[in-house]
Amino acid sequence: HLPAMDCVVTGGNVKVLAKAIHSLSRIGDELYLEPEDDGLALRSVNSSRSAYACFLFSPLFFSRYTVPCGHAFRCKMAIKCVQAVFRSLSSLDKTVEKCHIELVGEKSRLTFTLHCKHGLMKTHNLSFQDSESLQAVFDKDSCSNVLRAQPRLLVDTVLHFPPALEEVSLSVSGERVLFRNYVEEEPAKAMLTELSLSSDEFEHFAVGAESSITFCLKELRGLLVFAESTGLPVSVHFDLPGSPVVLSVTDSVLEVNFVLATLSDDLNLRNHNNNPKRARSPPPADDFLNDDIDSYLIAMDTSELPGPSNAPAQRSNHRLEAQSPVANHRLESEEAEEEETGDTERPPNKKFRSLFFGSVCPTDSQLTNQTATSQEVLASDSEDDAQAASP
Amino acid sequence: MKFRAKIIDVGCLNHFTRVVNTISKLTKTCILRLTPGNLYFVLSGKIASGGVSMWCELSQANFFDEYQLEGVAPEANEICLEVTPENLSRALRTAQNAKCVKIKLTKKHCPCLTFAAELPTLSSVSRVVTHDIPVDVIPRRLWHDFKEPSVPDFDVSIYLPPLKTMKNVVDRMKNLSNFLVIEANLNGEMNLKIETDLVSVTTHFKDLGNPPWGDDGSQGRSHSRDPELMAQTRVDIRKLQQFLMGQQVNPSKAMCNIVHKRIIHLILLHEDVSLQYFIPAVA
């Protein structure tokens, strides 16, 4: 039997690969590895299914890239183990000359061999599990707002916010881009920080619809670590609050997409208030729980998460709806927003709209049925789902 | 009640940042008293703060290029705010290479001190970062709590050794005991002592010198004192450590007044800034 995958990375690209894995480790605990004809895809998703990241390295990124055609091989493993292979990031480009990645199906081992200076060779045999394809359904090209900037600009922006800050709000209006710390409770005691950037500072500034979105800072920081090391510009694609923001970095040999859920606190939820299915779902047990992002599971149809992902998704939808009247007011103006939050009897709930993932398995017809069924279930859950699934 | 100030000079900005950082290491909250001539960071010796009090005085003219203040009333031309120094410190940290920093008292969702920094960019339009720091306005009837403390009628006043040296000693003693005895005499000698059931440690400093307090009222008790006689106070070692740890301003003069078995009064002077810190005795 031929190895399922056999590829070699040399020179500076070893560090790029290492940084990518480091960056993915900020997202989730598992690394999904999918060798495909158009390149090697490394993916991860966080436990709450509100953040997804994919690095696609084209065959040209490698000095050798072999995947047997007609036989899709996918696996996942603990990302920590892969990170361990690329420990000491700083000295990596000085010591490692070549990295050889081999996936041998029968042995259930993924082998990383680092060829270092002085003929030193380090071999890591990592065990893995079979998995289905992990893929988020998103369409960044249809987003009405696109900003592109050098990573330095975003790194400098993020520096203004404390490391402990979880979410940041991004607003675009006219010729300015605003970043604000998102404060959910007791705004009267919290320090509010706002950074205002001119559109001139962006390489590309296309705003179709003025909007303000809130998303997690941690993943953005993760992507910036990668983008800064490669010096590649970062694009931010987004629409209205509630629909995912896509952060992307592209190059001739690689494409990186981070898809992050945004807090839905917007008018666009009004349209969904009549959904009977949601009205029936049980109210949240405890207000406290509402702040828990982890409960906002993104409906996802990998084989490991079959049924249970549906129930929490419904519950979260219900909460989204419950919150919308408050949220609608919050758009009026900057000042009004702050006051409004102070006046509400309880702190606004922190809610990330689910990202809807679908499984796309182009080569494996066996799985298509299963995929289709589970997607149908998801689609009936929310109208947005249908939008997201058919861009 | 109006307040706005502006710093343009980088040196002033750095200096002000260091002062605020020092304060933020000493206390979680304190009072910021603004007068036409000065800024004061004040902590009055409440039980909640472990009886420690602080008085830090800055002359506004040495820091600010613009400074406008309209107090509560013409006869009380001051503003008194309760602030979280850590927030001020954070705001200043992000403004390190700013072209200018404006500080304003604003009415947002609550009273705020708004820091706005204009940051340099490559493009023609500046980057602006603003921080709205919530503050509590202290009503006039409570102001009497925040008056300058008088210099206590001390037994011994002594110059301190370099604060770094003292910090190293205190940091080590902290591992052995929760309390420290600080004693000094008029012969320029100071000892830092800890005593536990297992061990007694004393660090001796000599030739430190005693500040001349002139005909100041406080001189009374130390005038006829035996130069060899030690005055001593036992304090919570953490309070002293905190004081030594937070120092970011290199003082030109550092001294300590000891009221036997009652209190120690630490004074740091650096050009236009003075910081006084009082640590009460523990039995």
B134 reaches A (C-beta below 8 A): yes
Of the candidates A240, A261, A30, the one whose C-alpha atom is nearest the C-alpha of residue A126 is A30
Q: What is the mean pLDDT of residues B106-118?
A: 90
pLDDT above 50 (res A2): yes
Write down the pLDDT at residue B156.
93
**Residues ≥6 apart with Cβ < 8 Å to B76:** B140, B143
pLDDT at A305 over 80: no
Query: A197 in helix, strand or coil?
Result: strand
Going from the C-alpha of A350 to that of each of A246, A263, A265, A324, the distances in angstroms are 20, 7, 9, 12
Alpha helices in A79-150 (DSSP H): 79-85, 89-95
Q: Which of helix, strand or coil describes residue A261?
A: coil
CA within 13 Å, CB half, B155: 20
Q: Which of A1-15, A45-59, A199-213 has the lowest mean pLDDT?
A: A1-15
| E strand intervals along A187-242 | 192-198, 204-207, 211-216, 234-238
Q: Which residues pair with B205 in a beta bridge?
A: B190
Decide if A106 touches B, using CB distance below 8 A: no
Q: What is the pLDDT of residue B223?
A: 64
Separation CA B210–CA B193 (nearest Å)? 20
> Is there a contact between B179 and B192 (Cβ–Cβ < 8 Å)?
no
B2-146 and B156-280 share one fold: yes
Q: Exposure of B142 by Cβ count < 10 A (0-12 exposed, 13-18 middle, 19+ buried)?
A: exposed
Least CB–CB distance from B132: residue in A192, A197, A341:
A192
Residue A271 has pLDDT above 60, yes or no: no
Residue B47's pLDDT band (cuts 50, 70, 90): low
Indicate the burial class of A265 (C-beta count within 10 angstroms; 0-12, 13-18, 19 or more): buried
Report pLDDT digits (tens) over B150-165.
778 899 999 999 999 9
Q: Where are the domains of chain A?
A: 5-130, 140-260, 269-389
Residues of B within 8 A of A198 (CB-CB) are: 121, 123, 125-127
If you measure CA to CA, which chain A residue comes closest to B136?
A189
What average pLDDT score do residues B103-130 get?
88
In chain A, residues 338-377 whose CB comes closer than 8 Å to chain B: 338-339, 341-342
What does the angle CA A119 – CA A123 – CA A128 come to, to the nearest 5 degrees?
160
Closest CA–CA distance from residue B109 to any residue of chain A (Å) = 5
Q: Which residues of B touch A196 (CB under 8 A)?
A: 127-130
Of A191, A195, A198, the CB nearest to B87: A191
Nearest Cα of chain A lies from the Cα of B82 at a distance, in angstroms, of: 12
Q: Cβ–Cβ contacts within 10 Å for residue A169, how many?
A: 20
Q: Which residue of B has its CA nearest to A195?
A: B129
What are the φ/ψ torsions at residue B226 (nearest 5 degrees)?
A: -65, 120
A221 within 8 A of A22, measured Cβ to Cβ? no
**Residue pair A33/A129 in contact by the 8 Å Cβ criterion:** no
Query: d(Cα A220, Cα A214) in Å, to the nearest integer?
Result: 12
Q: Quickly tell me which residue has 């090209």 as its tokens.
A: A141
Phi, psi for B100 (deg, rounded to 5) = -160, 155
Q: Is A197 an 8 Å CB contact of chain B? A: yes
CA torsion through residues A6, A9, A218, A227, sign:
negative
Domains of chain B: which residue ranges? 2-146, 156-280
A195 contacts in chain B (CB < 8 Å): 127-130
The verdict on a CB contact (< 8 Å) between A195 and B91 is: no
Identify the CATH number of the domain defined by range B156-280.
3.70.10.10
Rounded to an integer, the average pLDDT of A300-313 is: 34
Nearest CA of chain A to the CA of B4: how many Å? 19
pLDDT in tens, A61-71: 999 998 876 66
- Regarding the domain delimited by B2-146, which CATH topology (the fold level of the hierarchy) does it fall under? Proliferating Cell Nuclear Antigen (3.70.10)
What residues of chain B lie within 8 A of the CB of A192, using their CB? Answer: 108, 131-132
Q: Which CATH code fits A5-130?
A: 3.70.10.10
CB contacts of B110 in chain A (<8 Å) are: 188, 342
Model confidence at A377: pLDDT above 50: no
- By the 8 A CB rule, do A3 and A103 touch? yes
Pick among B106, B129, B133, B135 to test the A interface (most A CBs inside 10 A):
B129
Of A162, A189, A341, the CB nearest to B90: A162
CA–CA distance, A209 with B225 (Å, rounded to integer): 80
Give yes or no for a contact between A357 and A299, defined as CB atoms under 8 angstroms apart.
yes
B96 to chain A, any CB pair closer than 8 A? The answer is no
Residues B228, B183 contacting (CB under 8 angstroms): no
- Note the pLDDT of residue A187: 62
Q: Where does residue A51 rank: exposed (0-12), middle (13-18), buried (19+ CB within 10 A)?
A: buried
The answer to whether the A5-130 and A140-260 domains have the same CATH topology is: yes
The residues facing A206 across adjacent strands are: A146
The position carrying tokens 């979880």 is A166
Confidence of residue A260 (pLDDT cuts 50, 70, 90): very high
Q: What does the pLDDT average to over A128-138?
A: 80
Q: Which residues of B touch A154 (CB under 8 A)?
A: none
B144 touches A: beta carbon within 8 Å = no
A175-179's contacts with Cβ under 8 Å and 24+ in sequence apart are A175/A199, A175/A200, A177/A147, A177/A201, A177/A202, A177/A205, A178/A212
Average pLDDT for B101-118 = 91
Which parts of B25-149 are beta strand (E)? 30-34, 38-43, 53-59, 66-70, 79-83, 100-107, 111-119, 127-134, 136-137
Contact criterion met (CB below 8 Å) for B126 and B97:
no
Chain A CB within 8 Å of residue B150 CB: no
Question: CB–CB of B232/B189 below 8 Å?
Answer: no
* Test mutation, A154, A156, A192, A339, chain B, max B CBs within 10 A: A192
Cα separation, A233 vs A146, whole angstroms: 13
Fold of the A140-260 domain: Proliferating Cell Nuclear Antigen (3.70.10)
Contact call for A198 and B123, based on CB within 8 A: yes
Q: How far is B249 from chain A (nearest CA, A)?
A: 24
Quick check: B109 and A159 CB within 8 A? no
For the segment A198-206, the average pLDDT, to the nearest whole number, is: 92
The number of angstroms, rounded, from the C-alpha of A63 to the middle of its chain's C-alpha atoms is: 28
Distance, CA of B179 to CA of B241 (rounded, Å): 11
In angstroms, the CA A357 to CA A347 distance is 30
Q: In what order do the strands lie in the sheet with B127-134?
A: A211-216, A167-173, A176-181, A192-198, B127-134, B111-119, B100-107, B2-7, B66-70
Give the HSE-up count for residue A375: Cα atoms under 13 Å, Cβ half-sphere.
21
Best residue of A156, A175, A197 to probe chain B, by most B CBs closer than 10 Å? A197
B215: tokens are 């005909």
Distance CA B131, CA B114 (A): 6
Q: Looking at the complex, report in whole angstroms how far the Cα of residue B63 sits from the nearest Cα belonging to chain A.
A: 23
3-state DSSP assignment of residue A369: helix
Whether the Cβ atoms of residue A269 and residue A321 lie closer than 8 Å to each other: yes
- Using the Cβ of B87 and the Cβ atoms of chain A, whether some distance falls under 8 Å is answered with yes
CA nearest B17: which of B76, B66, B88? Answer: B88
Residue B252 has pLDDT above 80, yes or no: yes
Q: Please report, to the nearest 10 degrees, the dihedral formed by the alpha carbons of residues B81, B82, B86, B92 taken in order.
A: -10
Do A140 and A192 contact (CB within 8 A), yes or no?
no
Residue in A with minimal Cα distance to B122? A201
Q: Which helix (H) or strand (E) holds B280?
A: strand B273-280
Contact A11, A225 (CB under 8 A): no
For the ranges A177-186, A284-293, B50-59, B216-225, the lowest mean pLDDT is seen at A284-293
Q: How many other β-carbons are positioned within 10 Å of the β-carbon of residue B83?
A: 20
Give the number of A-B residue pairs with CB atoms closer than 8 Å: 61
**Chain A residues whose beta carbon lies within 8 Å of the beta carbon of residue B84:** 191
Higher per-residue pLDDT: B45 or A142 = A142
> For residue B220, what pLDDT is reported?
53
Amino acid at A220: L
**pLDDT level of residue A283 (50, 70, 90 thresholds):** very low
What's the pLDDT score for residue A93?
Answer: 73
- Mutation to test the B interface, candidates A158, A160, A161, A168, most B Cβ within 10 Å: A160
Phi-psi group of A304: left, alpha or beta (phi > 0 → left; psi -120 to 50 → alpha; rest → beta) = alpha
pLDDT tier at A265, thresholds 50, 70, 90: low
Query: CA–CA separation, A268 vs A351, rounded Å?
Result: 15
Phi–psi pair at A63, nearest 5 degrees: -85, -20
Closest approach of B91 to chain A, Cα-based (Å): 8
